[in-house]
Amino acid sequence: MPLGTLDRTPPPFFKQGPSALSKLVVFSALALLLMVADVRFKLTAPIRAAIATVLYPVQWLVLQPVNAAGEVGHYFHSLHAAQTGEAEALRRLAVQAERSLQVEQLDLENRRLRELLAMRERITTPATGAQVLYDSADPYSRKVVIDRGQTHGIVPGSPVIDESGVLGQVTRVYPLLSEVTLLIDRDQAIPVLNARTGVRGVAYGQPSASGDGLELRYTLANADINPGDLLTTSGVDGVYPPGLPVAQVREVERRAESSFNRIGCAPLARVQGALHVLVLAPVGATLPPSPLPTTPARGQRSASDAPAGPRSAP
């Protein structure tokens, strides 16, 4: 190759352009000029608007996963809040229902206690308040257990009443508890008085599957007794004070083949749901003791041994 044809110019790698400082000054001046022009004449506003318009679909597409993640998180947060609120509402509803039942129970107890206090004011016999604990487990008897016993002055045979009438009689006493046999027990009997006619009788307990009640036995067929008559205690037995409500005549069955009527009565006391009762002292225990006969002193005669006065001459 001839020497004259060789390119003797240096390669581009070694070419020197404007210095870096010159480029910095030029581009800084240009940026400053553009900024001043944009502030003064709003030259780049259309360009920014066009770029924003072009880039908006890209921005929307890029933001969709972020928005979807936010919506999913909001959904689960709302679901958890709703479940928590529902659980709290159910808990409050259960508490309110329990309180409502307690309020109804307390209202029932208060009403019965007021009626029991009114009953206590009408009687003059000493009485002790008691609460019914539970029914007796014996299926062949009608008994309840109260929370008063010998330590509270309860004695066997004491009458027991509630706010409506005579409930039964104490038949067994323990130091802290007592057993009360209800009027409807088949072994119980109580002397009664028809408040309308004043006729006395004896009512016996008559438990049955159709409904526990009383039966007024040995009543003559021609006796004046009608359904609805009120039966009260007569007081002749020395146990029950007179005038306490016992039962109401429910039915009178007049039988031609018998000299006695079959009379069914409904007890007025709550034999199935008594809560609080009064235990009365037996009437015989509250009566004053009978005076003892006076013994004449030695050498003295009694009035019955005194000699009769002189008779007048005929």
Instruction: Express each pLDDT in 237-277 by its tens digit.
Output: 888 988 899 999 999 988 777 788 889 999 999 888 888 89
Other CB atoms closer than 10 Å to residue 216's CB: what's the count? 25
Domain 127-286 has CATH 2.40.10.340: yes
Which residues, listed in sequence order, are joined to residue 131 by a DSSP beta bridge?
276
Tell me how long the chain is: 314
Domain spans, the chain: 22-122, 127-286
Residue 171: per-residue pLDDT:
92
Model confidence pLDDT, tens digit, residues 14-45: 556 678 888 888 889 988 888 888 788 877 78
DSSP 271: T
For residues 246 and 203, give the distance between their C-alpha atoms in angstroms, rounded to a whole number. 9
Comparing 302 with 162, which gets the higher pLDDT?
162
The contacts of residue 126 (CB under 8 Å, 6+ apart) are 280, 281, 286
Model confidence pLDDT, tens digit, residues 169-205: 999 999 999 999 999 998 899 999 999 999 999 999 9
For the entire predicted model, the pTM comes to 0.58
For residues 263 and 218, give the distance between their C-alpha atoms in angstroms, rounded to a whole number. 9
Which residues, listed in sequence order, are joined to residue 170 by a DSSP beta bridge?
180
Other CB atoms closer than 10 Å to residue 244's CB: what's the count? 23
DSSP 250: E
Whether 255 contacts 221, CB under 8 Å: yes
Model confidence pLDDT, tens digit, residues 73-130: 899 999 999 999 999 888 888 888 877 777 777 777 777 777 777 676 677 788 888 9
> Is residue 2 very low, low, confident or very high in pLDDT (cuts 50, 70, 90)?
low
Helices and strands of the chain, counted as H and E runs? 3, 12
